[in-house]
Amino acid sequence: MRYSALALLAEAFRGNAAREPVWREPEPKPAYDVVIVGGGGGGLATAYYLAKVHGLANVAVLEKGWLGSGNIGRNTTIIRSNYLLPGNIPFYEWSMKLWEGLEQDFNYNAMVSQRGVLNLYHSDAQRDAYARRGNAMRLHGVDAELLDRDGVRALAPFLDFENGRFPIRGGLLQRRGGTARHDAVAWGFARGADRRGVDLIQNCEVTGIRIEAGRVKGVETSRGFIGAGKVGLAVAGSTTKLADMAGLRLPIESHVLQAFVSEGLKPAIDCVVTFGSGHFYISQSDKGGLVFGGDLDGYNSYAQRGNLPTIEDVMECGMAIWPGLGRLRVLRHWGGVMDMTMDGSPIIDRTPVEGLYLNAGWCYGGFKATPASGWCFAHLIGRDEPHPAAAALRLDRFATGHVIDERGAGAQPNLQ
């Protein structure tokens, strides 16, 4: 069924009689041309573009839980392409362009909202750094505006402009940035892939990777062996565990990141705002809750839950720019497991095992990358060559020294 306003109306009159599950629940076949491990944003988008762009439909996505149970359904929904370095800008801008046509492309309402992303600056040095970033963006054809204090006040009058410790001097604004409904993104890609013949297999955990003579042959799973010509890993926070099954040691650590949503409010903030003197980002969902987050918990973990000191730290950062937040109640909070690389940038590349491909290292920012992550990974798997937009996101950059250290923080995952 193709979704449209007319179809919705027709179904209302028919009592939703023609409604079907959005994807099938197939049994796994003995073998596929391509097996993607991980039914998160990256895995589902890859399967979708493999089928749509590369005509490969003998593809399975294997997910150990339910589709979208990982970080794709746990993030704070921010999308943007306000990057500085040449290795990152083309990739994230390609993602932004895909976001702009995504809902029409996969015929699903993902609530993509280009409401603007505003990064506050609080000192002269930070203003200069943002001016440099904005110029780099504009040189690559990405929109960027440097606002002074009055420009910020016009957009976000509720912020604390009298704060002596963290004075708001202005902000870098990307108007095309914004938010998207994260789980709907997973569902849209899943539905689109399923309609093109991809098997989406839930409750199927990969427990081993079979390799013979240096070539991948398939995967051992909780539902038996599944043969594969090619295997793509898109398992985010579980990347090091899966790589271990193939005998690979990666420059990645897993860390927990928490997120929060408040009770519902009337419209209060119509763009995404980030704090420049601490790690804090906030937006308002269409239901009215304020959605926000901050830093990693700071220790290695595979647990999807965090600790109280980080919660306190996030709340302090929020209160520093918006004291009124202190009067709100937090409705829910949760954690996700992040695959942090040593330079803060992702990896989309082949591995030393023939036929085994890696999509990982998404750090704080893999949600905004979802469409390009899938597009470029599908290109790599389908054509066996890197997509030009992701050509710098190589695994060997850590050995050759061509790191893409966006924050200039070095090999410290908590600072990326």
Give CA separation, 319 vs 108, 407, 415, in Å: 36, 24, 21
The letter for the amino acid at 339 is: D
Q: Does 38 bind ligand FAD (CB under 6 A)?
A: yes
Between CA 394 and CA 25 the distance in angstroms is 35
Judged by CB under 6 A, the number of residues near ligand FAD is: 40
Between CA 79 and CA 317 the distance in angstroms is 21
Q: Does 236 bind ligand FAD (CB under 6 A)?
A: yes
Q: Does 43 bind ligand FAD (CB under 6 A)?
A: yes
Q: Does 47 bind ligand FAD (CB under 6 A)?
A: no
Q: How far is the CB of 242 from ligand FAD (least distance, A)?
A: 6
> Which helix (H) or strand (E) element contains residue 124?
helix 124-139
Q: Does 413 bind ligand FAD (CB under 6 A)?
A: no
Q: Residues 331 to 350: which contact ligand FAD by CB under 6 A?
A: 336, 338
Give CA separation, 386 vs 118, 359, 372, in Å: 32, 12, 12
Q: Residues 111 to 170: which contact ligand FAD by CB under 6 A?
A: none
Between CA 225 and CA 8 the distance in angstroms is 41
Q: Does 40 bind ligand FAD (CB under 6 A)?
A: yes
User: By CB neighbour count within 10 A (0-12 exposed, 13-18 middle, 19+ buried), where does 286 fall?
Assistant: exposed
Nearer to ligand FAD, 75 or 174 (CB): 75
Instruction: Identify the residue among 23, 32, 34, 41 touching ligand FAD (CB under 6 A).
Output: 41
Decide: 133 and 406 in contact? Cβ < 8 Å: no
Give DSSP secondary structure letters for 37-81: E--SHHHHHHHHHHHHHH---SEEEE-SSSTT-SGGGTS--EE--
Binding pattern for the stretch 193-232 against ligand FAD, x by CB under 6 A and - elsewhere: ------------xx--------------------------
Q: How far is the CB of 275 from ligand FAD (least distance, A)?
A: 14
Q: Residues 64 to 83: which contact ligand FAD by CB under 6 A?
A: 64-65, 69-72, 74-78
Contacting range for ligand FAD; rule: CB under 6 A; set: 3-11, 193-201, 319-327, 362-370: 362-370
Q: Does 246 bind ligand FAD (CB under 6 A)?
A: no
Site residues, ligand FAD (CB under 6 A): 37-43, 62-65, 69-72, 74-78, 205-206, 234-238, 242, 257-259, 293, 336, 338, 362, 364-368
